[in-house]
Structure 1
Amino acid sequence: MTPMPTDRPLDDVTAELTALLGSIDPLERTDQAYGELARWIRTGVYDELLAGLGDGMSAGLEVGLGETGTDTVFRRSWSARLMADCVARENAIRVLPARQLLVWGDRVATWFVREGDLRGHVEGKGPALALSHGADAIAELAVSQHFGLPELTVLLDVLADRTLLPTGTRLVSGEPDRLARATIAILGRDIVPMSILEPWVARLANGAIAIDPAGQAACRSFNTQNYLRALHLQVTLGTPGSGRPGVRSDLLLVLVEALRETNRELRAS
């Protein structure tokens, strides 16, 4: 990684690196642009500019939104990943007002459910991973001191809404694990009760049953089933930094029942 330049204004360098988030060259995009910006966020370079930087990244979520199969996905996806870094930094230093985090949360959630390009990797151009990066941003938002029960409930619904949307894409690049990790971040706050979680799991279970063995219904079932399995595993084992939620025992019972009911081979004869 290159050191932060001292011979040019930080705003100019930031604008150049932000533009490179949409590069089709994976080294430019991930190592140079994302790598440098993320490092400077983490080391405090942007602490006094964090609100503006996060706003700029949230604007990147709108670039080409609605397109599928085009290169604009890179700008949206890596902007979301940097949104996660901005929120993580705010969680560490706690300098931004509640309104700023709520605005960011709304922008991330709106983009997340509208994103249509679910490719994990693009041949010759490297990782896209829009859903994984969106889940990372949601995981960091869940830790924010400004997010209480209403906001955490919305984040849970956003994760479910996204997973249950009709799609022709099977998520095979680790997305279910990242979605589950975001869910664990929400549960780790020990605020959301089982009275909310139980119907939430039931809603996912309904989408995990494939009525049509082909097409979008099959892809949705495949993705939702893998999300439930990843969530069950992470609730069982715990995840680094999140511990085990207080509702763990009750939630495991609900998850096991959901998996049993959506997998014929596991049902009692």
Structure 2
Amino acid sequence: MLKLELKAIDFDTVLKHEDLNNLIERMLNNIGSTDPELRDTLIFNTFGKLIIEEYLTDYQMKHIIEVCRKNLFLGIEEMESDLVFTRSFSALVIGLILQKDRQRKFLPEEIVLKTIEESIKYLKLEKDVRGYVEGKGWAHSIAHGADLLAEAVRHPNFNNDLSIKCLEAVKLCLFKETATKAPFVDDEEERLIFVLEALIGKGITHNELEKWIIEVSDNLQDLKRKEGYSLNFFWKKSNVITFLRGLYFRLLHKEAYSELRNSIADILQQWHNQIYSPGE
């Protein structure tokens, strides 16, 4: 049984494990298991140790990322199905391999460039935005997708011309429809901020970020004009305001982009006045 085998794995001898390739295939076949212990605690953590601590050959890691890239779009058109676990945890494993390739180059440049593009595409297309699923554990597709995109941005092969596409993907996430008809409740906004931090690390300009933040606020205003004080508006407002607050304090912590922080503070104050002090 795979669970028992992974619980008993001896990493001191795993490189000599004659069935390591077979074990990798079985882990890949079960990467989206609805058993949270098998999927999250055992398979993902085992992949993490094998990849980060370099127990695998370059060929094995290339194979893993190829399988996970295919998994990334399985059932992507579905709002709520168990395939979300396959997509979401494949995204995490791809991120680990990109991280390792950033430290020690082994992936062909063509594969890296395609993976970076797919990281943006995945976050844009994902419709199943559930966080924790009772009985099945973390789906967390938006959070895991954000983790992947942040790693893609950090990679040396990331083309800064893609920065605007990354920002567009993050904006789309803030306004995605949810099966539960509720705002994010599992720190998805915080994980999306990682993407912006990575873009800042790559030198995205204050003007580009300020323009984008104004667009996010304008989109929320458009929703308010269209729906008024609907539940959907309040849920999307919760996503946007929580995201902007988090971004403000991350920038404050980094002592970066003081003008942008002022712009964020102004937008937050404007929204506060609209909602809570409309007569002033």
Residue 219 of structure 1: how far off its partner (Å): 2.4
Q: Is 1:142 matched with 2:149?
A: no
1:175 maps to which residue? 188
Name the amino acid aligned to 2:219. Answer: G
1:69 maps to which residue? 80
Give a deviation string over 1:150-186, Cα, whole Å, max 9, x none.
Answer: 0233222221222233443411101011011221121
2:65 maps to which residue? 54
Q: Is 1:24 matched with 2:34?
A: yes
**Are the aligned partners of 1:58 and 1:79 in contact in 2 as well (CA < 8 Å)?**
yes
- In structure 1, distance between residues paired with 2:278 and 2:108: 50
**Identity percentage over the alignment?**
21
1:90 pairs with 93, 101, 107, which one?
101
User: Structure 1 residues 198 and 121 mapped into 2: Cα distance closer, same or farther (>3 Å)?
Assistant: same
**Are the aligned partners of 1:260 and 1:266 in contact in 2 as well (CA < 8 Å)?**
no
Gaps of 5+ in 2: 1-6
1:152 pairs with 144, 163, 181, which one?
163
1:224 pairs with 240, 246, 249, which one?
240
> TM-score w.r.t. structure 2 length?
0.85
Name the amino acid aligned to 2:272. Answer: N
Residue 115 of structure 1: how far off its partner (Å): 1.0
User: Structure 1 residues 262 and 51 mapped into 2: Cα distance closer, same or farther (>3 Å)?
Assistant: farther
Kindly report structure 1 stretches of 4+ aligned residues shifted beyond 4 Å. 265-269
- In structure 2, distance between residues paired with 1:201 and 1:256: 11
Structure 1, 100-109 or 31-40: larger mean CA deviation: 100-109
Q: Is 1:197 matched with 2:209?
A: yes
User: Structure 1 residues 98 and 136 mapped into 2: Cα distance closer, same or farther (>3 Å)?
Assistant: same
- In structure 2, distance between residues paired with 1:91 and 1:82: 14
> TM-score w.r.t. structure 1 length?
0.88
1:161 pairs with 169, 172, 182, which one?
172
1:105 maps to which residue? 116
Gaps of 5+ in 1: 239-243
Structure 1, 6-15 or 228-237: larger mean CA deviation: 6-15
Alignment coverage as a number of residue pairs: 261
Considering only aligned residues, what root-mean-square deviation do their CA atoms show, in Å? 2.2
User: Structure 1 residues 133 and 91 mapped into 2: Cα distance closer, same or farther (>3 Å)?
Assistant: same
Name the amino acid aligned to 2:43. Answer: A
2:4 maps to which residue? none
Residue 266 of structure 1: how far off its partner (Å): 7.9
Residue 215 of structure 1: how far off its partner (Å): 4.2
Name the amino acid aligned to 1:35. Answer: N
1:184 pairs with 197, 202, 206, which one?
197
Q: Secondary structure at the match of 1:263?
A: helix
Q: Is 1:207 matched with 2:219?
A: yes
1:241 maps to which residue? none
Structure 1, 54-63 or 41-50: larger mean CA deviation: 41-50
